[in-house]
Each structure stands twice: as C-alpha cells, then as structure tokens.
Structure 1
Amino acid sequence: MTETDEYGFATRAIHAGQDPDPRTGSVIVPIHATSTYAQDGVGGLRGGYEYSRTGNPTRSALEECLAALEGARHGRAFASGMAATDTALRTILRPGDHVVIPNDAYGGTFRLMDKVLARWGVEYTPVPLADVDAVRAAVRPTTRLLWVETPTNPLLHVADIALLAEVAHGADARLLVDNTFASPYLQSPLRQGADVVLHSTTKYIGGHSDVVGGALVTSDDELDAGFGFLQNAAGGVPGPFDAWLTLRGIKTLEVRMEKHSDNTERVTEALLRHPKVTHVYYPGLPEHPGHEIATKQMRRYGGMVSFTVEGGEEAALRVCSRTRLFTLAESLGGVESLIEHPGRMTHLSTAGSPLQVPADLVRISVGIESADDLIADLLAALS
C-alpha cells in the first residue's frame, strides 16, 4: 500500500508500510532480528540495507506507517520519545539559538532544555502558548524554534497550531508540535502548518504499555535528512521487536482513542460533581479556556485529565495511593488506567522553576476499562 491519501485513518493504520511479505505471504510484517545484511559485492545492498542501526525493514515499515498517519512524506522512529526530542533539538538548533517552549512543558523536555542544551549555548523562554501575544513578545532575532505541546502535559492547555505556525514562519523559525497527548487520530498538526510532529510512541500509538519509543514526522526534506543523519550517527534507534510491537499497537489506534475519549468524558463529569475536586483540566469542557480551539483542531478531546483536590498536596497524594483500578505509575496512553502526582513524579524536574506544577494536582490517563468501574474507583479514592 503506497498511495495512502485516499484511505481513511483506520485503513492507513492497518496497511501503510505493511503489505504482505513478498517472499512468504505473511500478512504481518516480520521481525527482522538481524544486525547486519549480506551484500552482493562491495556496496551491493539488497533493498538498501547494510546495518540495522542505519536501517531495518521492520523499522522502515513503522516509519512509513507513522508518516501516513500524519499525512507526511517522512517518518523516523527512535528508541524513546526523548531520543526523538534530542534529535529534533540538535538538528534544528545551534549554540546561540533561542527556542520558545510551553510554560507547562513535559518535565523531561524541560530537563533536556535546562540541564543539557543550555550548557550547549541554547537559550529558551517558557511562555503560555495559548497567549499568542506573549509568544510574539518572546520571539527574538535568534529564535529558531517554537516548541508546542497541545494539549500540554499536565495542565491540558491548548495552543492554536495554525496561528502559532504563522508566528513561527513570520520569524523564520520552525514550529514543532509534540502530538503525544492527542495522537495522530485526534489531531493533525502538519495539516495546520506545523513543520515537525513529535510523538512518544510509548503512549497512545503503542497503546499497551509494553514498548518504549519515539517518532519525528515531517514533509520537509531537509529536516528529514538532518533527522536521519543524527538518527544514524547518534544511534538512538528502536530494535526490530520494539518497532513490531509499536506497529501492532497502531492497528487499533482509532478504536482505542474513541473508547479513551468516551470513558474520559464520563469520568470528567463525575469529577466535576465531586465536592472535594476543586478544578478539572480537560479541553472537552465548555468552560476550558482552550475548548473552542480544541474543537476546531481536534477530532475529540482525548484520554487525559488533570484535577486539583481540596486539602493540598497531602490530599492529592492520598487520592493517588487509594485507587485500585487506576494504577499509580508514570506514563500514559495505555489500555489500562493510570494515576500519578506530577509534582512528585513526571514533573519533579520542574520544581523551583517557572514550570513548577501545582502541588495539589493529580493527573490521570483514562484507559478503556468499564467507565462505571473507573468512576467508582475514583469516587472511593476521593471519599
């Protein structure tokens, strides 16, 4: 399947890059568990493969599928979302460059910016990306990148991708969108003007909490060449079994995202009614400040919710410790529901910085279990 634009999302997810194996007829892409490839004479590569850090057929299938899901020409798969993040930043930025980031960015992204790239001479400014005037004011002559999460992690703020693309391109900068929370099914940033889309494929794309991975997707040939060079030179690539597991997860992405969204809407309604819940962060709520933009650029509102509780940090920690179906764990996007305390867990690296998250904040990743059971579990933990 090479022409994908004419097909629907679920068809692309199941078939793009995954034609039956020409030698055996296997309908599932084989796991090419090899480190190297026989050559027909020096430089005589069979199918273009020479060494599995540089390229592997299972990984190639995943990369083609990822590109098709985002409507792009190129996809690159990595060993983790942070490996993809590092590759994007080091490809686009040079010492002395400046990047605008969300003021509630993922803790791992902030840590890489603040503790690694800052030592390399890269400067960054945290800005509420929903405030386009603030973004414009933060742009400098040295700004080369606007780094966007929408919805953000963990406060679920929403940014207008098309408008930020105009700001970035007007400043001769690139726009990268971390699309992890939405997934390619719910949101298509490239179609709204983004230059690059990043995913932690560990999350919704893999969908089963059994594989770690990342991806960069673009239709910019020059950027993709840079990503490919660093992918090979630095070697942060997934193994063939990881690529195969991710491909397997992709096949059910559409049906899973619909169920995640269904469950999350019901869980959110229950949280709103609970007297000990002081605020609910979810872009599907009409009162959410980004609701209108989310409605415009997302198919649905996703499976992530954050909320604050009466009683401060200790109360939030108690809620996290009392659930039975919501497993206390980092990560998100799997079929099972997870709960965490961002301030002590995923966003600990932001403590004492402008990106520090509220101490009474709880973040949940709503899985695809029975919604009634999930609601009962949360209500019991809050009681």
Structure 2
Amino acid sequence: MSDPLSERPAFQPSTLVIHSNRVYESQSNSILFPVHQTATYIHESVGVTKGYGYSRGANPTVNALEQSIAAIEGTEQALCFRSGMAAITTLCMGLLKSGDHVILSEVIYGGTTRLFEQVLTHFDVQYTFIDTADLAAVEAGIKPNTRLIFAETPANPTLRLSDVKALAEIAHRHENVLFGVDNTFLTPLLQNCLELGADISMLSTTKYIDGHNATIGGSLACHDAVIMDRLRFVRKIIGTIQAPQDAWLTIQGVKTLPARLAMHCSHAQQVAEWLEKHPRVYHVNYPGLASFPQHALAVKQQKGFGGMLSFELNATTDESLRFMKALKLCTCAESLGSVETLITNPATASHCDLTVELRERLGISDRLIRLSVGLESPIDLIKDFEQAFDVIFGGSK
C-alpha cells in the first residue's frame, strides 16, 4: 500500500520534518517509533528475514532516522553514522583508493584535517588544501588523479564561504571527480547543497540536527544509488553505523529543526550586530552582516545565515581568554548547534594541531572566539557580554 503522504504536494519545512517519510510502529501503534536495541534478528526461515539480519548492517530505528534525513536532503535515501567523522571516514574509504587525490577547503574542521594528515596519508591518499572560495585555484589544483573535492561552507571557524554551484560545475567538468560538502553549520533547510549541484552532502547530526547535545552522529546523502550502495557496504564492513538509542533521540530533535533554526538565525543576527558596534570588538565574522566580505554569496546560496559566528576583541590573547571565562550564559564547550549558547577558542580546541603561522594565515588567531548562538533571549546574551566586558575591561569603553 502506498504512503498517502507521498502523494501530497511538497511540504513546507515545519511539516516536512514531522511527517515526510515518517515511519510508524505497527504492533502497538506507538506514535513514537521505538528503539530497536538489538544486536541480531530472528530469521523467519533459513535465509528469510524482514530486511534486518545484524545491527552492524542495518537497524530499524536507524533506518527511521535515515528516512527523516533523506526527507530534508531531498534524496531517496541517506545513511547515518556514529559520528560526523565516521561519516567522512566511510566516505573516503568507500570512494578513494591508494594514489587518489583530494582537494580540501583550507579552512575546514580540524578533525577532517587530522583524518587526512595523520590517517589517510598512511594509505597513500593524497590531498591538497586550497582556498575553495578561489575558484581559479580549485580549477588549477585538479590533477589527473583527483577524485574528490570536499568543501566546508560556511567554514569552521571563520565562516568563509565557498560557492557550491560553481564548485560543482568545476568538478563535473572533470571525469571521475565528485564534489562533497560538509553542510553541518547550515543543514539542508538553510542550504541545500545537493540542489546546488553537489554530489554528496555530509552532516554532523550531533549539531543542529539533534540540537540538544544528547547524541553523537553523522549522515551522508546522495542522489546516486550506486554511490549509496557502496557507502552502505563499507559502513557495514567497518561498523560505523549509528547507534539505535542515539538515532531515536536524533529523530526527536529533527522534528523541531525548522523552529530552532529560525531562532538561531534571528538571535545570531542580533548578537553579531551588537558585537560589531562594540568598541572592544575588532572584527566579527557572520555572513548575515552587510560588512561580511561574502555577504552577497550568502544571500545567493543560503536560505538563512545560521547560528554560528566568530569574532576577535581589541585585546591580548590572555584578555580574550579571560573574557570567555567571565561569561555566565555562554558555556565554554567544544560543540555547536544546540539550544545552549556555546563558546570556544579554536586555537586551543578544534584547530590546536595547526601551526601558529598557518592559523594566522587562515584567520584563526589565538584571539579568535567562536560562538554558537543558542535559543536563549538575545537580550540576556548581550547582557552577559556586557558584564564580561565590564569584568575584564572595566566597562565597554
């Protein structure tokens, strides 16, 4: 029997995340799909199952989350993993071989950098860090053995943007080159990378998809069934599938994603505008500001500016770190995208492995502060900043 929801017109985001591709449990008619916390499944007879044999390969609760992710990505299927890094690792192991070359955004999540520099290099996977905002540099950086361009946009932590559509066109002009995007900062609701031409969309579901700091997870989505089958096979072999309890919690988070994103965007805009005007603030990185160098690109390819920003103070490194410690509502923690406002210093956290010289060149100074603006009232967040300025600098002047 066909799903009546699939015959309806396309849903708006707030309806989409609740109803589209939704899976129900039939035995008890529970409105929430249950947690299938099981390692294995009973065979109805030899070689006959209900589609599940062992939870390293597939699990009903994980499948329910995958259908939710596929709905917001606009794909037939998605795959969920134990972490965002598990998703990226599976992507690389599934699509690359020894001697292949990858172009990476030069400003990218530190874990991705470590994966290539300290793990994949031992398997002779070659890579080049390029400013993917520089389209000519990307074109020039493609080699005969290039198989993947992988960009993060907005980039962590400088919010530097890459033109997704233009990069997809560059990749597709070359035989056997795929283009993947780490879309964690925006999710498909604010930037649908596959619609813009990317081949693969990757999300750390730990962040905005979950939204409550409750789980670790990642996802991959793609329109190409052959690629998805390959990634599913590799996931089964290396055991990177999402855990059912984490999948269940993430399913609940997805349902409020549009409402949360609207608040994140609104609050971040207000906080960014206030920080930009403050005399103690040297610089603010936020695509929603007219002063942001790539503001026009953000308007063109995004449906919102997101909840992430970074900034530097007119202060020493020590004063900047003490300022962070003086904040009371902004929690110092290494994550983002949650209901709580989180603050971190990338130079001592996510990008601590980079040399000081490289960090400075990329705009990740020891003084840079990254802020994931939560759902608290921006009025209260701004008051928190004011009191921290007063504590460290004796007032805002």
In the superposition, the TM-score normalised over structure 1's length comes to 0.97
Residue 226 (structure 2) aligns with = 222
Give yes or no for contact 1:19–1:27 (8 Å, CA) kept in 2.
no
* CA RMSD, Structure 1 to Structure 2 (Å): 1.4
Residue 393 (structure 2) aligns with = none
* Superposition deviation, residue 376 in structure 1: 1.1
Matched residue type, 1:25: N
> Matched residues in 1 for 2:195 and 2:306: separation?
19
Q: Which runs of 5+ in 2 are unaligned?
A: 391-397
1:1-383 matches, within 5 Å, as: 1=3, 3=6, 6-46=10-50, 48-172=51-175, 173-352=177-356, 354=358, 357-383=364-390
Matched residue type, 2:81: F
Matched residue type, 1:241: Q
Q: Tell me the number of residue pairs that the alignment of Structure 1 and Structure 2 aligns.
A: 382
Change (3 A) 1:312 1:170: farther
Matched residue type, 1:168: A
Give yes or no for contact 2:194–2:222 (8 Å, CA) kept in 1.
yes
Change (3 A) 1:192 1:263: same
Give yes or no for contact 1:108–1:349 (8 Å, CA) kept in 2.
no
Matched residue type, 1:380: Q
Give a deviation string over 1:182-208, Cα, whole Å, max 9, x none.
Answer: 012111000010000000000000000
* Superposition deviation, residue 316 in structure 1: 2.1
* Superposition deviation, residue 354 in structure 1: 3.6
Give yes or no for contact 1:335–1:369 (8 Å, CA) kept in 2.
yes
Change (3 A) 1:80 1:353: farther
Matched residue type, 1:146: I
Give a deviation string over 1:85-125, Cα, whole Å, max 9, x none.
Answer: 10111112111111111111110000001111111111111
Deviation beyond 4 Å, 4+ runs, structure 1: none
In the superposition, the TM-score normalised over structure 2's length comes to 0.93
Give a deviation string over 1:155-183, Cα, whole Å, max 9, x none.
Answer: 00111100000111112210101010001
Structure 1 residue matching 2:57: 3-state secondary structure: coil
> Matched residues in 1 for 2:125 and 2:161: separation?
26
> Matched residues in 1 for 2:9 and 2:118: separation?
41
Q: Which runs of 5+ in 1 are unaligned?
A: none
* Superposition deviation, residue 140 in structure 1: 1.2
> Matched residues in 2 for 1:90 and 1:5: separation?
38
Q: Which moved more, 1:159-168 or 1:95-104?
A: 95-104
Structure 1 residue matching 2:119: 3-state secondary structure: helix
Structure 1 residue matching 2:348: 3-state secondary structure: coil
Matched residue type, 1:76: L
Structure 2 residue matching 1:23: 3-state secondary structure: coil
Give yes or no for contact 1:18–1:29 (8 Å, CA) kept in 2.
no
